[in-house]
Amino acid sequence: MNWRILLRSPFWLHALIIAACTYVVWDGTGKLFRYKMFPYVIVGIIITFSVAELVRHGIGRIKDRKRDTVDLSVAALPDLSLTEYDIRSIRFIIWLIILIALFYILGPTFAVALFMALYLSIEVRMWWVNRVLIVAAMTLMTQYLFIWALDLTVPEGLLARIIY
Amino acid sequence: MAHFLSELQIALAMSFAPMTLLYLVIGVVVGMILGIIPGFSGVTGMVILLPFVFNLDVAEGMALLLGMYVATTITDTIPAVLLGVPGTAASQAHVLDGYPMAKRGEADRALSASYTADVFGVVIGFFLFLAVIPVLAAMTMAFGSPEYFAMGVVGICAVGTISTGRGQALKGVIIGFLGVLIATVGMSLHTGLPRYTFGQHYLLDGFPIVPVILGLFALPEIIDLFAHDETIADKNTPQGRRGGTVAGIIDAFRSWFLVVRTSIIGGIIGFVPAVGGPVAQWIAFAHAKQTEKNADQIGSGDVRGIISAQAAVSSCKPASLVPTLVFGVPGDVVMAILMGAFLVMGIRPGPHMVGADLNITLMLMFIIILGNIVAVIISLCLGRWLLNITKIKSSIITPIILCFMLMGSLVATGGFGDIAVFVGFGILGFIMDKTGWPRIPLVLGFVLGPILETYLFISYDAYGVGFVLRPIVMICLVIAVTMIAWPALRSFMRRRKPLGAKI
């Protein structure tokens, strides 16, 4: 099945929610009343509304069938091909994974510098002077704004742990 | 009265402190930049700035966040007027009159009229707030833990219902309560036992608010911005020539009665949770069309259309703080994030915000007014120059913001767990966005979760299950159920009407 149809199915999030609720109920079994009272109240509300939503959805489908209003024309079929938007979204996710990997290996300051340099060279193909300026600005901002001014504790990179 | 004056004095001193003003200007500048880029909103801006308030005191942190928030609602008018593209949802009505005016060469007149109406609106909104303080104080006297719990439930139902499309109210409410359930992860408040942590030490304190909100809201927006990779300026050419600034200011003064009326409308709407500026602008616009002379011109390039919409939007801002601060029920997602920031900075919403801690509430109001004035001054001077920001390609902005977000998510514990939470909730937010599940109620539920749990425990300990039979609680629960069932009831009643007609 195409991933876009799968994602757009109204049932998957319900299934996820019901799985979470089941876990909460299972986890609370045999525990103190004060431990489970609030989660159980919330789970009760969620399950009630989830069932109501599924019933509402089911009734809607039955009504549509009765009315025979389902548009079966080719134009009504969802576009299943990967659009430019999808491709660019996937590209962004790849860049995000690269940035996180660099964070893990090099630590934030060097990771930001290297990531910006790579991104601006490959994705934007920017003039090298502008590239250097932006990379320098971002590196300084990471170091001064976040690490010094905000006094942020940042994770050490894998390389730093190996070297020191 | 003496108490009020002393609180007012403290609030003024905090608002006008040099560091507060500095952070206010920084917030305003950031907000102005984000407001001009269509696709960005006060939500994204507030999420990006949230990590920075951790090390600041209350006045400075709030100046940064509120300065950013108010500035987005002023500069979003610039693309609406000059390009015909609303910067945020609260500037849609401005396009109807602003863009035709810009095409006629009256862009500066439209913008300056909007800015002047904005300042009037926010001041009137502030006075409306002052007028309702005694009423609020009396109301809060009747409120105990059961009532606050019920108000929280109403808030989640209201936001869940309004943030979803037609016939989708249940989805929003389910997601809102899922947010509450997510907030129960971590050490149980009343037993000290770890709950749903899967043995992870990281989760003992629960999911940290900053990576959660950054992931849910900012990451999907950035993916969207990157995927569309285009500039608004590619498609739309700025309209209008310079001049007419003074004429616009005079227009706003001439329409003073319209400004007052629409500001009052906006202020009243602002008090209602989950409605806010995007709705207020249209109601004010419709009011102007119904009541003004030569009303047929409004909507096709009349300055009164812009004045009415902007006055309503800006007067909403002080009023929308009231449900958040006093009842702990954030009216919209910006207020939910703001409430998260309040909790981080040690401000606990409740009746004391119009009593013992009135100075903090007044300070927030002053910051909103000052932020508006600063944003208006900068917009009047640099409005057209700021429009150049729309020429920057989104593919250049996105990596910068991505790095900011990833660094910002580290503010919680400084470990890779924060990044994992950020990415996890980012994926959830992206999927929810693409499948039509609202993200706003999830954040609201997440922020309200621990407060609701505390109120429920106190209520249960004090009254047992009978707390739900208290009059205000029952009224709140009836309101909540009606809100959820209203779409079904309405369609049922509509179906009955033609039958009656036939008979």
**Which tokens belong to B254?**
């001439």
Contact assessment for residue B108 and residue B372, using Cβ atoms and an 8 Å cutoff = no
C-alpha–C-alpha distance, residues B356 and B374, integer Å: 29
Contact assessment for residue B348 and residue B338, using Cβ atoms and an 8 Å cutoff = no
* Any B CB within 8 A of A50 CB: yes
Distance from CA of B281 to the nearest CA of A (A): 32
Q: Which of B401, B410, B437 to mutate to test the interface with A (most CBs of A within 10 A)?
A: B410
Quote the pLDDT of residue B474.
Answer: 92
Asked if B177 lies within 8 A of A39 by C-beta distance, the reply is no
From chain A, the residues in CB contact with B437 under 8 A are 13
| b/e per residue A27-50 (b: at least 16 CB within 10 A) | ebeeeeebbbbbbebbbebbbebb
Asked if A92 lies within 8 A of B52 by C-beta distance, the reply is no
From chain B, the residues in CB contact with A85 under 8 A are 227-228
DSSP β-bridge partners for residue A22:
none
From chain A, the residues in CB contact with B156 under 8 A are none
**Of the candidates B131, B176, B171, the residue with the CA atom closest to the CA atom of residue B153:** B176
C-alpha–C-alpha distance, residues B114 and B304, integer Å: 9
DSSP string, B203-252: GGG-S-HHHHHIIIIIHHHHHHHHHH---HHHH-PPP--S--HHHHHHHH
User: Which residue shows structure tokens 């102005």?
Assistant: B32
DSSP β-bridge partners for residue B186:
B195
C-alpha–C-alpha distance, residues A34 and A96, integer Å: 41
What 8-state DSSP symbol labels residue B470? S
**pLDDT tens-digit profile, chain B (503 residues):** 777 788 888 888 888 899 999 999 998 888 887 766 655 666 777 888 888 887 788 888 889 888 888 887 777 777 777 777 666 666 677 788 888 887 777 778 888 888 888 888 888 988 888 888 888 878 777 788 888 888 888 888 887 887 766 667 788 888 889 999 999 998 887 788 888 888 888 888 889 888 888 888 888 888 887 887 665 445 555 555 556 778 888 888 888 898 899 888 888 888 776 666 677 888 888 888 888 787 777 777 888 888 888 888 888 888 888 888 887 777 667 787 888 888 778 787 777 787 778 888 889 889 988 998 898 888 888 766 766 666 677 778 888 888 888 888 887 777 888 899 999 999 888 888 887 788 888 888 888 888 888 889 899 888 888 888 888 889 988 988 888 877 767 766 766 655 544 44
Contacts of A6 by beta carbon, 8 Å cutoff, 6+ apart = A12
pTM for this entry: 0.80
Contact assessment for residue A113 and residue A139, using Cβ atoms and an 8 Å cutoff = yes
* Any B CB within 8 A of A109 CB: no
**Which tokens belong to B432?**
């929810």
Q: How far is CA A77 from CA A5, A63, B61, B436, in A?
A: 11, 20, 50, 19
Identify which has the larger pLDDT, A62 or A125: A125
What 8-state DSSP symbol labels residue A155? P
| b/e per residue B235-266 (b: at least 16 CB within 10 A) | ebebbbeeebbeebbebbeebeebbebbbbbb
C-alpha–C-alpha distance, residues A93 and B246, integer Å: 49
Asked if B396 lies within 8 A of A126 by C-beta distance, the reply is yes
C-alpha–C-alpha distance, residues B230 and B252, integer Å: 35
Quote the pLDDT of residue B34.
Answer: 74
C-alpha–C-alpha distance, residues B319 and B184, integer Å: 30
Terminal C-alpha separation, chain A = 50
Nearest beta carbon to residue B181 from set A43, A108, A151: A43
Question: What is the three-state SS of B77-99?
Answer: HHHHHHCCCCCCHHHHHHHHHHH
Quote the pLDDT of residue A160.
Answer: 75
Residue A164 — pLDDT band, cuts 50, 70, 90? low
Quote the pLDDT of residue B122.
Answer: 87
Mean pLDDT over the full length of chain A: 78
Asked if B178 lies within 8 A of A124 by C-beta distance, the reply is no
CA angle in degrees (0–180, nearest 5) for B111-B113-B118: 95
Nearest beta carbon to residue A152 from set B170, B177, B414: B414
Contact assessment for residue B153 and residue B346, using Cβ atoms and an 8 Å cutoff = no
From chain B, the residues in CB contact with A100 under 8 A are 406, 419, 423
Query: How many residues are there in chain B?
Result: 503
Mean per-residue pLDDT, A157-163? 77
Nearest beta carbon to residue A89 from set B184, B227, B410: B227
Q: Is A141 exposed, middle or buried (0-12, 13-18, 19+ CB in 10 A)?
A: middle
Nearest beta carbon to residue B410 from set A20, A123, A152: A152
C-alpha–C-alpha distance, residues A128 and A22, integer Å: 56
Q: How far is CA B269 from CA A108, B179, B325, B434, in A?
A: 45, 26, 16, 30
Asked if B456 lies within 8 A of A42 by C-beta distance, the reply is no
Given a cut of 60, whether residue A100 has pLDDT beyond it is: yes
**Of the candidates B133, B122, B124, the residue with the CA atom closest to the CA atom of residue B8:** B133
Helices B58-75 and B333-344 pack at an angle, to 10 degrees, of 160
Quote the pLDDT of residue B80.
Answer: 77
Helix (H) or strand (E) holding B169: helix B169-183
Contacts of B482 by beta carbon, 8 Å cutoff, 6+ apart = B489
Q: Is A11 helix (H, G, I), strand (E, B) or coil?
A: helix
Residue A118 — pLDDT band, cuts 50, 70, 90? very high
Quote the pLDDT of residue A115.
Answer: 92
**Which tokens belong to B436?**
């039509």
Quote the pLDDT of residue A43.
Answer: 92
Distance from CA of A46 to the nearest CA of B (A): 6
C-alpha–C-alpha distance, residues B287 and B289, integer Å: 5
